[in-house]
Structure 1
Amino acid sequence: MVFRLLRETDAEAYRDVRLRALQEAPEAFGSSYEEETQWTVAQFAEKLAVTPERWMLGAFDGKGKLVGVIGWYREARLKIRHKSHFVAVYVEPEHRGKGIAKQLLSQAIDRVRTETDVEQIQLTVAADSAAHALYRSKGFAEFGREQQGLKVGEGYVDLCHMVLYTEK
């Protein structure tokens, strides 16, 4: 497995993974498949522009296929610049159970700790999901629950808000 930051040139591969994620796990994302299928490849490329305030880390299999992602962004406003967020975390189902999500998460945490002065990494996750357990295992703590945080079809998903302090 190769882990690296995604670039604008990865836009088509990222689009494929992202749309698959939204279609297969709608309860895990605030965005919807219906919304993002309207986006152009250029719009996906814009999201992949690497800056000191945001990036997307990808996991590539031995054949060079993108199979997992984790996004990060830092808050821009002065009083909340000490906080950042992990978003859009996904590993394709056929690649799960191999520790890829844990490796993506570990590498992303290490990158934030070594390359920024951010003090907190926050994320939102479906309550009681496998991802929730993964985040707990990496030291994230729950700081709030949002009942019916997402509406997916006719059902609801409760969300957990979690934080990891980066010990700056």
Structure 2
Amino acid sequence: MFIRQLTSGDAADFMELRLAGLSECPTAFASSYDEECGAAIDEVSSRIAPGCGSAVFGAFGDSSVLIGTIGVRREHRRKMRHKGVIWGMYVRPEYRGAGVGRVLLRRAECVNLFPTVPAFFPNESLDGGIGIRVDASVGGLQ
């Protein structure tokens, strides 16, 4: 397994994995499958492209298949700029329990896009305990 920052060229793979996550765990995401399934590839490309204050990372398996993702972004509002938000974390079911989520969280935690952001806050809709166990396994990102 290897982790790298996604680029616009990963949009199709990202969208395929995101739709799987939205379908399997609808309460874990702020968006819905219906909202996302019609998204144009250009829109997805711009959403995951590396930018100032945001990044999306992917975990790739042995066959270079995208098996997990995590997004991080800096809050935009002036009073909230000291916080980073983790969004859109998902790992394919067949890879859960193998440390993929933990590695993704650690990678997101090390992002140097946020030199003045001392803390990351996972999305509060962690689904069914899976996200809570992963968050606890890395010491909680508070």
Same fold (TM over 0.5): yes
Residue 39 of structure 1 corresponds to: 39
Which residue identity lines up with residue 55 of structure 2 in the other structure? W
User: Which structure has the bigger radius of gyration?
Assistant: 1
User: 5+ unaligned residues in a row in structure 1: which ranges?
Assistant: 141-162
Report if aligned partners of 2:74, 2:114 keep a CA contact under 8 Å in 1. Answer: no
For residue 90 of structure 1, report the CA deviation from its aligned partner: 0.3
Report if aligned partners of 1:68, 1:90 keep a CA contact under 8 Å in 2. Answer: yes
Mapping for residues 122-137 of structure 1, pairs under 5 Å: 122-123=121-122, 124-126=124-126, 129-137=129-137
Report if aligned partners of 2:27, 2:125 keep a CA contact under 8 Å in 1. Answer: no
Residues 1:3 and 2:20 are matched in the alignment: no
For residue 127 of structure 1, report the CA deviation from its aligned partner: 6.4
For the residues of structure 1 that align with 2:17 and 2:63, how far apart are their CA atoms? 15
For residue 18 of structure 1, report the CA deviation from its aligned partner: 0.4
SS in 2 for 1:51: coil
SS in 2 for 1:39: coil
Calculate percent identity across the aligned residue pairs. 32
- After superposing on structure 2, the runs of 4+ consecutive aligned residues of structure 1 that deviate more than 4 Å are none
For the residues of structure 1 that align with 2:76 and 2:51, how far apart are their CA atoms? 12
Residues 1:27 and 2:24 are matched in the alignment: no
Residue 78 of structure 1 corresponds to: 78
For the residues of structure 2 that align with 1:99 and 1:45, how far apart are their CA atoms? 27
Mapping for residues 5-154 of structure 1, pairs under 5 Å: 5-112=5-112, 116-123=115-122, 124-126=124-126, 129-140=129-140
For the residues of structure 1 that align with 2:127 and 2:23, how far apart are their CA atoms? 19
Which residue identity lines up with residue 2 of structure 2 in the other structure? V
Q: How many residues align?
A: 141
Report if aligned partners of 2:27, 2:127 keep a CA contact under 8 Å in 1. Answer: no
For the residues of structure 1 that align with 2:63 and 2:87, how far apart are their CA atoms? 25
Structure 1 residues 14 and 117 mapped into 2: Cα distance closer, same or farther (>3 Å)? same
Report if aligned partners of 2:57, 2:104 keep a CA contact under 8 Å in 1. Answer: yes
Which structure has more RCO (C-alpha within 8 Å, separation ≥ 6)?
A: 2
